[in-house]
Every structure is written in structure tokens, then in C-alpha cells.
Amino acid sequence: METDGSDGDRGHGGRAGKPADEQAGERPTTAGAAGREAVTFEWDGIRAGFFTCLPIALGVGGYGVAFGVLARRAGLSVAEATLMSATVLAGAAQIVAVELWADPLPVATIVLATLAINLRYSLMGAALGPWLDELSSIRSYGSLLLMADENWALTMRELTSGSGRGGFLFGTGIAIWVFWVASTIVGATAGGAIGDPARYGIDFVLAAVFVALAVELWEGRSTLVPWLVALSTAIVAAAVVPGQWYILLGGFAAAAVEVIRYDQ
Amino acid sequence: MISEDALALDPLIVGAILAMALVTAATKVGGFWFLRRIEVSERLEAGLAVLPGAIVIAILGPELAGGGPAEWGGAGVVLLVMWRTENILLSLCGGVGAVVLFRTLL
């Protein structure tokens, strides 16, 4: 890893309009609070997270309606679909689960599929570790329970900017939870009246969020090798391995390559 | 028209849902829980530092590879707007609008 050179790169790649002292927070997993704002958990951060996430939560609502429709078709009641959205809060896993729904109910298969699809959350939560570590257990674990792909992405963006707003994840999570549960009720109640969500481009929102995040996370040339490793691993794994293991494999492969070439 | 059927809660189904919820909660807090219990070397730290971007790329790559020209065009619009403006809402609206447009055109 080109330690000295990459610090210079980061300086140049720094986002316009941010004070220079915030750049210090750009090395995401540096242990401890050295050189960046202390992480706090305040109303201001929670509120900022909630409102930043609102437009994206609206997109999540699109998936929620789709899930509600699918769940109803699979034979779940409105109450059961709503209970699942309120307690599981994991879009992809829930949609796969209702696709596996059958009589008799294959509980073991459904729970195993849920585990496989959601294992990526462990990596995502670990990536938030350096900031959450500075919060109390109840705040860090409580926030993590509300983590989904979309608000994890927003929170990474917020915290790598060095704002120190540790309540951000919790605020975004509340927005996601409210819209996810409400839209599930709408979808499950309204049934098939919605039609195809692809017509409104709702199915593209998640991909768009991740493209935007990739632009934010790009740190210059030092990022190129791990990203190419992640990309090639994920594309091969998605074609060969069933389920969503490719996300984990891509992430692990990139981290492994970085660990190996650390002092070279 | 809410039928009583809509409010039905089958014990087996509720059990399956709660098992899904438990497993999901474990994955959400598990990585963080594990990481704060081990000593992290600088070498491992360097590996963890690339995780966020790598996960984003790993999710995005196969999804875009499985899409078509409309999705690629939409992704290109998000990339361009985000790179130029740093405004996530503008990027998302541009990208989703572009996808809808490309899908009707292509």
C-alpha cells in the first residue's frame, strides 16, 4: 500500500466545499479518534440522518410495495407480511423468502437463505466499526439493527466525511423502517393494482445509490486494485455460486489482496 | 375491505418470521461485535479500509452486468452527475429519470 503517496492523493481527491480539517477523517478505519471529530450521538445527527434518507426511503417504499404484493400472492396475511417487514427489515432476504414460501412451510430453507443473503451485513457493520466503537453498546447495536443497504451507504458517506455524527445511522434507519413497514401494508392491502414497479424506474434506485457511493468512496489509484479484485470476483461468483454469496466473496477477496500486498 | 383473513397470524408462520428476524439481527450486529473483541493490526486495518468500496463494487458489478443498455446508461448518468455536482439527490433523480427514458427509447 502506498501509504505516503495515497495521503497526498486523498488531499487532491478531497471534495470541494469541505473545510480542510475534515480531510483528516478520510482514512476510514484508523483506530481511535486521532485526527478527526469525536463521534457523538445527538439529536442533530439523528435528525440529519432521517431527512437525508427521506428521498431514498421513498425509493425503498417502492420495494416495500413490491414485497407486500409478493407476500400476499405467496399466501401471507397482511398482518404476517407487516410483522416480517417490521422485525426482519432486510429487503432482498424477505423477497427471496416469500418466493420460497410453500405448503408445508420450508422453515429451515427460508432461515438458511436469510442467513446467506444477510451475511453481508456483518461486513457492512464491521466497516462502520471505527465510528460505532466510540458509542455506547446500546446505541451502536441499536443503530446496527436498523441497518439496511441504503442507509448503510448514506452513513458511510456521512462518517467518512468526518462529521462525527454517530446518530446518523439511527436516523436513517428510522426513515427506512417507517417507509418499509408502511409500504408493505400498502402493497399487501392493495394487492396487484400497482403493476410493474420497473415502469417507474423504482427497481433502479438501489443500483443508483451504489453508483453514487462508489464515486464518493473512490480514493484515487490506490483504490483501483482492490476494486478490480472485488469486481472480477463478484462477477465470477455471481455466475457460479447460488444466492448472494458473491457480495461476501467480492468483499473478502479485495480485503485479502490488500492485506497480502500491505507492505509490498 | 379488510377481511379477517388479512389479520390472520399462523403460529408456524410467525415462528418462521421471528427466526428470520433473529438470524438477520445476528448478521447485522455480528461483524461489529466480533471486530471490537480482537486486536486489529495495521495490516488487517488496511484490508478493512478497502471493504466499504469493495462491497459496493461487488453488489454493483453483477447487478449492472445483468442489466442492459438502459441500466448502463442510467448508471453512467449517476456517475457523471455525482462526479460533477456531489449532490446525491440530483444524481439519483437523474439516474432514475434516465433509466425510465432509456427503457422507453431502447
Q: Do A149 and B59 touch (CB under 8 A)?
A: yes
Q: What is the mean pLDDT of residues A210-229?
A: 89
Give this complex's ipTM: 0.80
Q: Do A78 and B2 touch (CB under 8 A)?
A: yes
Q: Is A195 exposed, middle or buried (0-12, 13-18, 19+ CB in 10 A)?
A: exposed
Chain A CB contacts of B10 under 8 Å are: 77, 80
Q: What is the pLDDT of residue A198?
A: 66
How does the average pLDDT of chain A come out, rounded?
Answer: 82
Cell numbers found for residue A118: 444477510
Cell numbers found for residue A73: 400472492
Q: Do A207 and B28 touch (CB under 8 A)?
A: no
**CB within 8 Å of chain B, chain A residues 42-61:** 55-56, 59
Residues 6+ apart with CB under 8 A from A264: none
The DSSP output letter for B41 is P
Question: What is the chain A residue with the closest CA to B32?
Answer: A126
Chain B CB contacts of A251 under 8 Å are: 51, 54-55, 58
Q: Do A141 and B29 touch (CB under 8 A)?
A: yes
DSSP collapsed to 3 states, B23-36:
HHHHHHHHHHHHHC
How many angstroms separate the CA atoms of A257 and B25, rounded? 29
Our measurement of the distance from residue A238's CA atom to the centroid of its chain's CA atoms, rounded to an integer in Å, reads 19
Our measurement of the distance from residue A225's CA atom to the centroid of its chain's CA atoms, rounded to an integer in Å, reads 22
pLDDT band at A41 (very low <50, low <70, confident <90, very high): very high
Domain boundaries, chain A: 43-217, 218-263
Provide the whole-model pTM.
0.71
Cell numbers found for residue A229: 479484485
Query: What type of residue sits at position B19?
Result: A
**CB within 8 Å of chain A, chain B residues 55-74:** 55-67, 71, 74
Dihedral of CA B25/B28/B29/B35: which sign? positive
Q: What is the pLDDT of residue B42?
A: 82
